[in-house]
Structure 1
Amino acid sequence: MAAPASRLCHIAFHVPAGQPLARDLQRLFGFQPLAAREAEGWRQLALRSGDAVFLVNEGSGPGEPLYGLDTRHAVPSATNLCFDVADVGAAALALASRGCRVPVPPVSVRDAQGAATYAVVSSPAGNLSLTVLERAGYRGPFLPGFGPVPSAPGPSWISHVDHLTLVCTPGSSPTLMRWFHDCLGFCHLPLSPGEDPEVGLEVATGSGHGGLRLTALQTPPGTVVPTLVLAESLRGATSSQDQVEQFLDRHQGPGLQHVELYTPNIVEATEGVAMAGGQLLTPPKAYYQQPGKERQILDAGHKPSLLAQQGILLDGNKGKFLLQVFTKSLFAEDTFFLELIQRQGATGFGQGNVRALWQSVQEQVARGQEA
């Protein structure tokens, strides 16, 4: 591997001036302002909830925003993943030797709290770039060049990023898997026994809507990097676009479709998001009427009526359960969204929940196409 990642520092977004992403992360999801920077036409605001940090780059300056790259993408988007590495200079050389484009070579930034060095690498995943960062010993609240911002105590529903889902074009998952392996040290994480990494896990969703091909990747033990899930669509019998194809169309290419945020209490978090005005996806009514679903929810220690009311999905067995709820898009272009997830011993991604999410989103896609 060229530059083994040891930790996810932050996820960066590019939005136009006035876009409400930063406000919504605070008001709806309990993120708190961490640090800010304004220079050269950019307003950069880092927000945190637990160990999850989002960096919102607002505007479009003449140069590059610190720790990132201005991709000039056509729609608001999650554009950058920033990883801690041991040696940025060595990492940049190794990545370049593997054919990676390094549009921002190593840059050092210093302030009164210490120094950091970073480089930005272009990835083969659409507009998504990767920042490799070396910041050992930095004492500030975020990164050099940013100043602290006042924040009031608020809800703390989220503890960390559980995993990231990257939508890619049909047939490209094996190529992306090899790239993330060779460049950052990600390895295939089987989602089913005996799974072929070149094939991944195929989740058929029924009703002629095709389904999903999922390939999960993880870094070696001892690192603090979320699982990366590659998702591509399996064509069904219908001619209408499925939700993955719709993302590729509206996002104008592959990209980060959603971020899964871990919460230790999904019922409390979902209630808080809904009361703040956050919009959540509604699963199909039939989901909670499946044979054995009520018993499954009771076995997990939850009330079926409450989960149904809040739209929380639950999957699992033998004492290991996974609970999930999904937001609607945070952007008007109907692309990027968030997921809240709670694990009760489960380590997978809930195939039954994947089907339910697919069907609920597909119903909304169909209604939109009929309008």
Structure 2
Amino acid sequence: MAALARRLCHISFHVSTGQPLALDLQRFFGFRPLAAREADGWRQLALRSGDAVFLVNEGAGPGEPLYGLHPRHAVPSATNLCFDVANAGAAARALAARGCRVLVAPVSVQDAQGAATYAVVSSPAGNLSLTLLERAEYRGTFLPGFEAVPSAPGPGWVSHVDHLTLACTPGSSPSLSRWFHDCLGFCHLPLSPGEDPELGLEVAAESGRGGLRLTALQTPPGSILPTLVLAESLPGAARGQDQVEQFLARHRGPGLQHVGLYTPNIVEATEGVAGAGGQLLTTPEAYYQQPGKKRQILAAGREPSLLARQGILLDGDKGKFLLQVFTKSLFAEDTFFLELIQRQGATGFGQGNIRALWQSVQEKAARSQED
């Protein structure tokens, strides 16, 4: 293991001037401004909900924004994962020894609240870079160089980041899995009994044509890092009907497809997001008519008609259940989206729910082609 990441500090996005991501996160998803910085052509705004922090970098200054770099990607994108480490310089050197490019050499930033040191390195996951942040001695609201932004308390819909899903090119999951293991200490998390770490979990489409391969990775017990999920397409899908392939095409390559945000009350969170005008992905009506689905929902202590009305997916058995709902894309390019997730003892991601999401995206794509 080259660098031990202790926790996820924040997820960075790069958008052009006037793109409404920061406003949408506040209006629709209950995020609140945490800290801001404006300098060198950049407007950087950190937003928080619970322990989930998103840093929106808006503009295109001549230099690099603090704690990251401008990837000059063709479309708005989630571009960087920032991890707390014990020693940013040592972590950067260790990753460089494993072949990672050091995009920003270790640099220290200081203000009246203390100091932090960070470095930025490349990752093999498309335009996604990694910031290695050492900030044990910093006492401020966010990070040196940022000014705190007073704001009212949020609605509490989200408590933390549950997982991160990367859309990958076909056949790349094994090499990506090894990279995250060797460089950051992630290990295989089986999603089904006896799962081969090299093959992951295959979820075939109902039509029998195509599907998804998912490989989940987690850090050792005691870590507070979110689970990492690698998603790639299985061969055979009809052209234009595969959600991972659509992401790869519209995003112009691999990248962070979605962030799973944990909510302690998915019914309240879904009602809040929908009531605020947030757009949620429609769940197929047939999902709630599956044999045994009503019984399964009741066994979880939930009301079938309520979940159906809100489009909440539920999967699991033996007293362990998972509830999920997905948003539509936050960008006009129809790429990155969010997921709200609540766990009742379940640790995986629900094969039935994965298949239902697949079907709903396929139906949406088919309707778009008809229009």
- Deviations, residues 191-229 of structure 1 (Å, cap 9, x unaligned): 111211111110112114411000011111222110000
Deviation, 1:241, is: 3.5
Contact 2:211 2:237 in 1 (8 A): no
Q: Distance in 1 between matches of 2:61 and 2:109?
A: 19
- The residue type paired with residue 117 of structure 1 is T
Q: Distance in 1 between matches of 2:209 and 2:114?
A: 53
- The residue type paired with residue 113 of structure 2 is Q
- Deviations, residues 18-66 of structure 1 (Å, cap 9, x unaligned): 1111001111111110000000000000000000000000000001110
Aligned length: 371
- The residue type paired with residue 179 of structure 2 is W
Q: Distance in 1 between matches of 2:42 and 2:35?
A: 14
Q: Distance in 2 between matches of 1:275 and 1:246?
A: 29
**Structure 2 residues without counterparts, runs of 5 or longer:** none
Counterpart mapping for 1:1-371 below 5 A: 1-236=1-236, 238-371=238-371
Q: Distance in 1 between matches of 2:222 and 2:347?
A: 17
Q: What's the TM-score, normalizing by structure 2?
A: 0.99
Contact 2:240 2:246 in 1 (8 A): no
Q: Distance in 2 between matches of 1:135 and 1:344?
A: 34
Call closer, same or farther: CA 1:237–1:59 in 2, change over 3 Å: closer
Q: Distance in 2 between matches of 1:223 and 1:6?
A: 7
Runs of 4+ displaced beyond 4 Å = none
Q: Secondary structure at the match of 2:247?
A: helix
Q: Secondary structure at the match of 1:103?
A: strand
- The residue type paired with residue 68 of structure 1 is G
- The residue type paired with residue 273 of structure 1 is V
Q: Secondary structure at the match of 2:354?
A: helix
- The residue type paired with residue 72 of structure 2 is R
- Deviations, residues 233-276 of structure 1 (Å, cap 9, x unaligned): 11235344311100000000000000000001000000000000
Q: Distance in 2 between matches of 1:126 and 1:11?
A: 15
Q: Distance in 1 between matches of 2:285 and 2:222?
A: 41
Q: What's the TM-score, normalizing by structure 1?
A: 0.99
Call closer, same or farther: CA 1:286–1:185 in 2, change over 3 Å: same
Q: Distance in 2 between matches of 1:21 and 1:239?
A: 30
- The residue type paired with residue 369 of structure 1 is Q
State, as a whole percentage, how many aligned pairs show the same letter: 85
Q: Distance in 1 between matches of 2:236 and 2:274?
A: 34
Q: Distance in 2 between matches of 1:153 and 1:353?
A: 32
Call closer, same or farther: CA 1:212–1:237 in 2, change over 3 Å: closer
Question: Which piece of structure 1 moves more, 213-222 or 47-56?
Answer: 213-222
- The residue type paired with residue 226 of structure 2 is P
Deviation, 1:370, is: 2.7
